[in-house]
Every structure is written in C-alpha cells, then in structure tokens.
C-alpha cells in the first residue's frame, strides 16, 4: 500500500501549514535557521524535506552538501526547482525511510522536523544509525488533543489517511530511544502554536 504522504499535494500541505491558525511553516522556518547554524557540520541530511522550507538558510560557505530526503517525488522536484541556484549543494533523494534506510548517506548533522511521528521511534533509530551523524536536531509536535492532532483548516481532508502512519510523540521517550543508540540530549526548547499545540525541539550529540 502506498504511503499516504505520496498522495498529499504540496500546495495543500504548505497552504495548511502556513495558516494563522496553524503557523507551523513559519515556526519551522525560523527553527531550521537555528538548526543549520548551531553545530560544526559541513554535511547535513534533512528528513522529510517536503517543499524545502528552511533551505534558504543553508550557508554555502559552511555546507558542502545538504541532502533533502522525502518519499514524495513531486516534493523533491519542487525542491530542485526552488533551489536550483544552490547548485549541487542541495541533493534530493527519494527514499522510503522505513524500508530503504540502507540507501541513506552519512552526514555530520540530521534534521528531522515533524518526521518521527510518521515513521515511529524504531525506524528513526535505525535511520540515525545508518547516517551516523555527530548531531541530530528534531522537532516533534506535542498535542493536547490526541483525537484532533491535525489542526482544523480548509485543507483538513487532504490529510485523512495520515492516521494510518501517525505516532503520538513524547520527548522523554524519544530521548530514551536516542540514549539507547549512543546520543545524549544537549538542547531542548518548546515553541507554542495555535490550538494548544507546541513544537518541541530536541537536539542530541553522539557520545
């Protein structure tokens, strides 16, 4: 069965995420600026790149290669078009993280924003162990309403099938999983969003 993310139009996703009642596109953009700048890295893997939100913050003097990974080929085509002026710094890879983690490149930094909830802790742990980064920076959505974890919007029905792959997130559990594969928590912050939600950022360093 196809992953639901392969059938969600990028316009629906981005228009939903940037609504004033959602504010996740804007919040993640400023968060990604910090993530790219925070650590000594010359290579990075952005998991679940979607349309490339935040890639404008990649400094070409710092980064040799930034890999954008997604399961949706149309998303990756858009990224290539939007950031063609970045030359070969941005490399797009169509990879199913649950079944094709062996295809992932090694890199200094992994950025995984709103991604772990769609593959689960075990698959994410496997992905990190394949990439072997020195640093991992994640953003997870914390929900006060477990039944309505997608914010209400005119685009809501575009996400109907995501219940099939969604996992409820817990920062403490994620840190426990990361500790089990040799990563220690070095940074934690939380950004409040509308509708009682929050984006929790957790950064880890390989021990």
User: Per the structure block, which two tokens stand in for 54?
Assistant: 């935040």
Closest CA to 48 of 105, 119, 146, 108: 119
Q: Tell me how far CA of residue 26 lies from CA of 91, 99, 165, 199, 206, in angstroms.
A: 23, 31, 24, 12, 29
Give dist(CA 191, CA 198) in Å, integer.
5
CB 168 within 8 A of CB 142: no
Residue 185 confidence (pLDDT): 98
Give dist(CA 51, CA 67) in Å, integer.
13
CATH number at residue 101: 3.40.50.150
Range of the domain at 194: 4-206
Q: Count structural domains, the chain.
A: 1
| pTM of the model as a whole | 0.93
pLDDT at residue 154 tops 70 = no
Average pLDDT over residues 92-109: 98
Residue 195 confidence (pLDDT): 75
pLDDT at residue 149 tops 50 = no
pLDDT digits (tens, 9 = 90+) for 110-126: 999 999 999 999 999 99
CB 74 within 8 A of CB 94: no
Residue 163 confidence (pLDDT): 86
User: Per the structure block, which two tokens stand in for 101?
Assistant: 């983690």
């Amino acid at each position: 069965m196809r992953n639901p993310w392969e059938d969600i139009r990028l316009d629906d996703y981005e228009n939903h995420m940037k609504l004033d009642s959602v504010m996740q596109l804007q919040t993640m953009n400023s968060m990604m600026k910090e993530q790219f700048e925070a650590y000594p890295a010359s290579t990075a893997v952005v998991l679940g790149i979607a349309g490339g939100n935040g890639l404008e913050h990649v400094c070409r003097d710092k980064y040799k290669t930034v890999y954008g990974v997604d399961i949706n080929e149309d998303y990756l085509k858009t990224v290539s078009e939007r950031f063609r002026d970045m030359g070969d710094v941005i490399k797009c890879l169509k990879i199913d993280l649950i079944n094709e983690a062996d295809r992932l490149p090694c890199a200094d930094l992994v950025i995984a924003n709103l991604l772990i909830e769609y593959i689960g802790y075990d698959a994410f742990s496997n992905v990190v162990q394949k990439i072997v980064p020195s640093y991992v920076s994640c953003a997870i959505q914390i929900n006060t309403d477990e039944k309505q974890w997608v914010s209400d919007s005119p685009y809501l029905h575009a996400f109907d099938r995501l219940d099939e792959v969604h996992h409820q997130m817990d920062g403490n559990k994620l840190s426990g999983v990361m500790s089990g594969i040799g990563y220690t928590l070095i940074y934690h912050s939380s950004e409040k969003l509308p509708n009682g939600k929050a984006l929790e950022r957790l950064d880890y360093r390989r021990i």
